[in-house]
Amino acid sequence: MQNIGAYGVELKDRFLWLEAINRETGALQRFDHEACQSGYRQSMFKAEERERWVIVRVAFALDRDAPLCTEYGASQSELEAMGVAESATHFDVAQAVMNIRRSKLPDPNELGNAGSFFKNPVISREAFQKVLANHPDVVHYALESGQVKLAAGWLIEQAGWKGARRDTHGVHDRQALVLVNHGGATGAEVWQLAQDIMASVKERFGVTLEPEVNQIGLDAT
């Protein structure tokens, strides 16, 4: 129920419209890109209109001639490993991204998880300089707005949480952004772990992490 993105491409760049049912009236309504108010890991369905709509259909505008995006993360090196770096197609890039994701993220059929639990924090240039002064190796990305996006996974890993386990739940050992359920964990336990991680990152880096997941029911068992 939000704008998502990975490896240099965002859903909003290909989004055309969606249709949703009003839970109060049962009416079907169509929303275009502007109406959805898409932002970084955000939309109106996750903000002021949360819990009001059930999305039932989404339309995308795809372009066979769209330029390939291979500069982000390990995309280029994966294409090289596949032997198609010089002649990559859209299908090849999609396959490369899926290969990378499978190498880092747990299969939900084998290990329960909520996917990437935290947003990459976006901070001002001034705040970034303070982080950089104490942590010169911080993973970051400069934005056109002048702000700086930090890699939440790096912050969490540096705070010592990658692979941490609390009996029934913990942090994935290959991707610190992912919280996992080893079996029998409650929502309250997972949410407490998330809060502890946020407090730890705040204490070490002075940066506030924000959950990416919808927080409805996270305090329930």
Active site residue 41: yes
d(CA 36, CA 73) in angstroms, rounded, equals 28
**Residue of 38, 43, 75, 116 marked catalytic:** 116
Q: Phi, psi (5° rounding) for residue 190?
A: -65, -40
Task: Find the catalytic residue in 43, 75, 78, 212.
Answer: 212
Residue 185's CB: how many other CB atoms inside 10 A?
19
Residue for token pair 């898409």: 38
Q: Indicate if 157 belongs to the active site.
A: no
Q: In whole angstroms, give the CA distance from residue 216 to residue 64.
A: 38
CB atoms within 10 A of CB 195: 13
Catalytic residue among 38, 41, 75, 78: 41
Strands (E), the chain: 5-6, 9-10, 15-22, 28-32, 53-60, 112-116, 122-123, 140-142, 148-150, 165-166, 169-171, 178-181
Per-state percent for the chain, helix, strand, coil, to nearest 5: 30, 25, 45
Q: Is 212 a catalytic residue?
A: yes
Which amino acids are annotated catalytic? Answer: 41, 116, 212
